[in-house]
A and B are shown apart, each in its own frame.
Chain A
Amino acid sequence: MKRMSKWIIPVSMSVALLAACGGESNGNGGNDNQNGNSAGNNTGNNDNSEQPDTVETGSADQEVEASGEESVVLDMWIHQTGEDETNFYVERIDAFNESQDEIFVEAEVIIDDGASSYSDSINAALVAGNLPDLLALDGPYVASFAESDVITSIEEYVDDADREDFVDSIIEQGSYNGELYSLGAMEASIPLYYNKDIFEEEGIEAPTTIEDAWTWDEFLEVAQDLTTEDRYGLNLFMNYGVGEWLTFMGAPFVWSNNGELIAEDGSTADGYFNSPETVEALEFVKELFEEGVVDLNPGEMQFEEGGAAMALGGPWISVSAEDAGMNWGMMPYPYSETPVSPSGSMAYGITTLSDHPEEAYELMHWMTNEESTIGLSEVTGMPPTRHSAFEQMDHYDELPWSIIRDQVTETAKARPQTPAYPVLTDAFAQAFHAAALGEDVEEMLNQQLDRVEREIGRFQD
């Protein structure tokens, strides 16, 4: 059966896709590369086991109509994702329209294939000067938009109690130069998944709190022990391709080794991106591959099918693992000096072109309030962004989900807030991948550093 499935996937896909050739085809057709690129920033709905039904792009199907008496009409862009998630956004917008009669929101669903089409749409609208009032944007890109005055600061609107309720990583992700620009309703994290059956068989105890999290040495040792002839110890989802995933998943190796990718003020990456701490972190990654603990080319379902005993994967892996009927658990992200975990997802920004920033903030607040973040978490399986939400969601009090809660509230670190992020993330992903291929880590980092420095220079006059 296993053998047959290798033939069946391409054959059945080609039939399905041939049929789709004539008409328009929605979704990614199972392209794991594209899914992976977005995995870090985007949603858990791109899980690999099931293709979500996507919603058509264009005007959202809003149930509530404008009465014509509203004094302000706001345009809002939401990114296209799985049907459930998009429908949830539209429902929340409908509820907002109903809750008051001052503001009416017209929502538009913009194509997001997980690669770059959503940001292409933003770029095009930006050049043409017709951005909406409020738009969904990817967390690490807040700095770019803030630096270029595309989005506006929300400092004057946000109140302290509210600010306190958001987890630190979301405030960090939404801030640039000490000012808050963006808030989001969805967090993301990466726990270390493990196959409970294999762990029981081998008599390995998984840590259950961040205090007990494995250090790199323990982690490597267990991974080596679990690696057998027909099983890898660990899966890093290298099949997602060389993209955002490698930064999202990989940067905590550097951070937990007390390294950084860029100076705190963003003025340079020299001495950070190529620091001994960073080199050491990628050397550790390189070792994982050299020891044969990780597969450079894992199949999409390697972990779910028992081909790897552990996996550093997004929250969406719990969905596919559950679907595969496997016995899975979560433990905290392993660390070197300080426990750090990945963070970041889609958030909202108010554009500088908006004539009604105050009303747009009201909408942003609504879309990220307790009800929204809890609802979104229930629909997508992604963690919420507010402390109060965690308190109300009971399953986060128990294993395995308590791991995610602890990571989001205690160890989550946002990716760097620099306008040079697009180049920085690619440079890091390239270096991470080179380490996986067994290349000289220091040489690769220095090589990539040039690009990053040049990009940083652009914003320094």
Chain B
Amino acid sequence: MARKPYLKTQEGKEAITGYLFLLPALILLSIFLLYPMGTAFYYSLTDFYILRPDEKNFVGLENFSMILGDAAFRQAFVNTMYFTVLVVPIQLGVALGLALLVNKKLKFKVFFRTAYFSPVVMSLVVVSILWTFMYNPNEGLFNEILASLGIPEQPFLSSPDQAMNSIIVMSVWQGAGFQMMIFLAGLQNIPGHLYEAAEIDGANLFQKFLHVTLPGLKNISLFIFITITIAAFKLLVQPMIMTQGGPLGSTKSLVYHIYEVGFNYRDVGYASSMAVVFTVMVLIITIVQRFLIKEEEG
């Protein structure tokens, strides 16, 4: 008996169905992600100036060598790293703390959970505007509170030293609620009998947290760690709305710098080359993180 062609077999049919299911996603990804990424890579090798779309010249790696000497890029890079290195552990910690709080059998649990989560559903732009009011050195809420505690007024966003830290605090407040929900799901997945066993062994609250809760959350923590890191690298809205990258460039992030060069200064070629560098950077960091996670699991 002649063998059926592969596509006529049960296995083949399932494969076709599978690929058909994949198709819509693949098409959309190609149009809205892969194609733009490809063009960005192409533009990064040209001197594309937005007002002269028909006069793109191939300039090789000139844009990339310009990045090396670009003080603004360097500053934006340092700012972005600073933001990421601080925001990731703080946000992770705050999210875990909030999750532990609302996981307790408290009155008004639902209310607190909603309250902590509500900043997440607000638009980041809106939150940024509101916090700009609250950070206002003369009339803002925060200095009002500080004054009532007898602490001298702070300049917040208008000081090069405090602006980025102020943005970090706001970002954690806005973002932590989301990770809290993920942590909460993780907490509720830890079997109760583990805690019971720990109690029988005489473990105190802290020991239970250290030896039961934390190991139970390990995979979730790593997932959150990666997503926060990538999100932190994409810092844009907060400085754009709150400080316009100032004072003295102290809150200019990489993505903001790329946006400005590309759209305000119309230098799409150079902006694309910075975007390529940025993508490679995030890619490397993600791969390293993935690698570390694999190690941990193994």
A332 CA / B290 CA spacing, docked (Å)? 64
Interface residue? B137 (CB, 8 A): yes
Interface residue? A120 (CB, 8 A): yes
- Is chain B's interface secondary structure helix, strand, loop, or mixed overall? loop
Residues of B within 8 A of A423 (CB): 265
Interface residue? B279 (CB, 8 A): no
Interface residue? B140 (CB, 8 A): yes
A148 CA / B51 CA spacing, docked (Å)? 6
Interface-side segment among B106-114, B169-177, B195-203, B239-247:
B239-247
> B43 to nearest A CB, angstroms?
11
Interface residue? A393 (CB, 8 A): no
The count of chain A contact residues (Cβ–Cβ below 8 Å) is 47
Cβ proximity bits A1-14 to B, threshold 8 Å, 1 near / 0 not:
00100110110011
A9 CA / B160 CA spacing, docked (Å)? 26
> B138 to nearest A CB, angstroms?
6
A17 and B136 within 8 A (CB): no
Q: Which of B32-68 contact A (CB under 8 A)?
A: 49-53
B51 and A437 within 8 A (CB): no
Residues of A within 8 A of B139 (CB): 6, 299
Residues of B within 8 A of A434 (CB): 248
A299 and B266 within 8 A (CB): no
A3 CA / B121 CA spacing, docked (Å)? 29
Cβ proximity bits A117-148 to B, threshold 8 Å, 1 near / 0 not:
00110010011010000000000000011011
Q: Which of B90-145 contact A (CB under 8 A)?
A: 121-123, 126, 129-130, 132-134, 136-141, 144
A397 CA / B47 CA spacing, docked (Å)? 52
> A65 to nearest B CB, angstroms?
35
A6 CA / B263 CA spacing, docked (Å)? 36
A126 CA / B53 CA spacing, docked (Å)? 8
A458 CA / B140 CA spacing, docked (Å)? 44
> A21 to nearest B CB, angstroms?
6
Cβ-Cβ contact count across A and B, 8 Å cutoff: 99
Interface residue? A61 (CB, 8 A): no
B49 and A148 within 8 A (CB): yes
> Given A17-B126, A18-B122, A422 and B265 touching (CB < 8 A)?
yes
> B75 to nearest A CB, angstroms?
11
Interface residue? A116 (CB, 8 A): yes
Residue of B nearest to A2 (CB): B139
> Given A17-B126, A299-B138, A241 and B244 touching (CB < 8 A)?
yes
Interface-side segment among A27-35, A76-84, A363-371, A409-417:
A27-35
Residues of A within 8 A of B264 (CB): 116, 422, 426
Interface residue? B158 (CB, 8 A): yes
A17 and B123 within 8 A (CB): yes
Residues of B within 8 A of A13 (CB): 129-130, 133
Q: Which of A140-160 contact B (CB under 8 A)?
A: 144-145, 147-148, 150
A-B contact pairs, 6 of them (CB 8 A): A3-B144, A17-B123, A21-B126, A126-B53, A127-B50, A296-B137
10 nearest CB pairs, A to B: A148-B51, A127-B53, A17-B126, A297-B137, A299-B139, A242-B244, A242-B246, A123-B50, A241-B244, A10-B130
